Chain A
């Protein structure tokens, strides 16, 4: 298990190294002079330009520049936003809780709906329910979620007015973030139930939209994994032992079917980031997805650069976590050295 894990970690670190090279090259490959890009679209005097070039190390050889970039990055300095003039790292972590809160809700939705549907579809194979589930999950998989979000807004916000169109909460609640997770902050700030429900209402539509793709993937994966397992000899043994159907499916089959599903849930984190980019744009959600898109349209290169480095490192950490869980859940891997 340790050999497997250390191999995976080395591979992932190499990938991370690659991402830093890409991030580093971005600003140098982009059309236009890097200094102009870094200073925004303002005209600058020749002296200031020279001074900036020297300050930021653009006059040094590329290799030195890269190591400088890495060195500063490791110290938590990923540059300053051109637009807000604030450090990229601060901006990122200020927005992260909003995305995480939404992402957790979306994943919870996807797992709690997707796994039971996938299991039932596999157990009731070739039934109407199975066909319904398979088709719906394929539809979810094919869904352009930016459109899906707008359709839900048209139905639930524009037509029947039961859910808000955008934002994290009603403007009448002016809550200064503590943890950044509004579901928690409303209690810490003593706003109580009405505010909590308001925050929850704001989470429903974006949560569903963001959870749609993971939901489809988890349902499909659970179903196919379960179908494979139900054919196994040990399931027949479990039936022959006179165990109840609940126990055979819920314990004997599920435990084995979960192994690939866990991997998929881990990988769903990537689709959460994709989902965040689109969902946050639709719902004006103040998270990192919308921040990144804005930075691309505003050509705020330090933000793009820093953003992808942090996101890549988070995805890589999640991958390592998934691999570890995988190794723990699967007894065949656990005992290997």
Chain B
């Protein structure tokens, strides 16, 4: 009985989701980039760091020493298309690890803050206030200034900067749920704190957290790309889109495509995650519809 309602609500959810054109579009674009990222070594014509001697900044569709470059080459003679394709791996990877990190840490802190309240709540919320006292990109820069620029440090810095989103959301959700009857009943039946937090309350807080995860992906990709652009992100020769953009800046007049395409990739990926997240929210929260 419980199973059938579960599946039917899942079915209804997917139906509504498909009807939400924006969400579907976002999902398709994300799926496309994920596919590209997963199959990068099959799709990319060359490795991301292969340097072709003297093939600097070739225009799109050029041939040079029997090598064909669909989107041309960059300033040190690497195939732009291959770098963009491998770049999707980097950006989606950063997004993924960042969301996993800040979701798990921020989620647990928020859960504890909301569930226990009192001094634990105050302590966690003050940490939250400190992170929020600086804009997230600036906070990430501060962390990078200590750790030094690298791909791994980018993920750490962005994760910390994104923490408040998950912490606050989870806390608010838990506070709304914890005094509902089903929680009180499970408490009177003697459930332990851990059991209450993770099996009773947590599943009922998931919908907004899932939405926030999609939006967190876009924030993380954007923030990491900004760090890359400032020269504080992934170390060369990693094909990170933001770094590529920044490397190509001196050639903005002669080879604008080197600037345009990496940025376009960032923009479309981020937009897709935002559309997807908005669509998810609409589907989860029927009140907001129409």
Q: Do chains A and B touch in the complex (CB under 8 A)?
A: yes
Chain A residues near B (Cβ < 8 Å): 11-12, 14-16, 18-19, 22, 26, 29-31, 138-139, 141-144, 146-148, 150-151, 153-154, 158, 270-271, 273-274, 277-278, 281, 292-293, 296-297, 299, 301, 304, 308, 311-312, 315-316
- Most A CB contacts (10 A, CB to CB) among B134, B145, B260, B274 go to B145
Docked-complex contact B138 and A311, CB < 8 angstroms: yes
Q: How many Å from the CB of B54 to the closest CB on chain A? A: 26
Q: Shortest beta-carbon distance, A110 to chain B, in Å?
A: 16
B272: nearest chain-A partner, CB-CB: A142
Q: Is the CB of B146 within 8 A of A30?
A: yes
With A138-B278, A158-B253 in contact, is A297–B271 under 8 Å at CB?
no
By a CB distance below 8 angstroms, the chain B residues around A150 are 245, 249, 252, 259, 263
Cα(A19)–Cα(B262), bound, Å:
35
In the complex, A15 Cα to B132 Cα: how many Å? Answer: 8
Q: How far is the CA of A19 from the CA of B273 in the complex (A)?
A: 32
B245 lies within 8 A of A147 (CB)? yes
Whole-angstrom distance between the alpha carbons of A124 and B145 in the complex? 48
The answer to whether B230 touches A293 (Cβ under 8 A) is: yes
A sample of 10 inter-chain contacts (CB < 8 A) reads A18-B126, A138-B274, A138-B275, A142-B271, A147-B267, A153-B252, A154-B252, A296-B144, A308-B138, A315-B134
Chain A contacts of B246 at CB under 8 A?
Answer: 146
Per CB-CB distance, the 7 closest pairs between chain A and chain B, nearest first, are: A147-B263, A18-B130, A15-B129, A142-B271, A270-B135, A142-B270, A274-B135
CB pair A15 B145 closer than 8 Å: no
Q: Are B135 and A271 in contact (CB under 8 A)?
A: yes
Q: Are A138 and B271 neighbours in the complex by a CB distance under 8 Å?
A: yes
Contact B129 A11 (CB under 8 A): yes
Contacts of A293 in B (CB 8 A): 141, 230, 232
- B232 and chain A: residue at smallest CB distance: A296
Do A19 and B134 contact each other (CB < 8 Å), given the known contacts A144-B270, A150-B259, A151-B260? yes
Residue pair A154, B256 in contact (C-beta under 8 Å): yes
Q: Report yes or no: B274 in contact with A142, Cβ–Cβ below 8 A.
A: yes
> Are B146 and A26 in touch, CB under 8 angstroms?
yes
Docked pose: A221 CA to B130 CA in angstroms:
25
Q: How far is the CB of B262 from chain A (nearest CB, A)?
A: 8
Asked whether B242 lies within 8 Å of A144 as measured between CB atoms, the reply is: yes
Nearest-neighbor residue (CB-CB) of A131 within chain B = B22
Contact residue among A15, A31, A271, A292 (Cβ-Cβ distance under 8 Å from B133): A15
A18 touches B129 (CB 8 A): yes
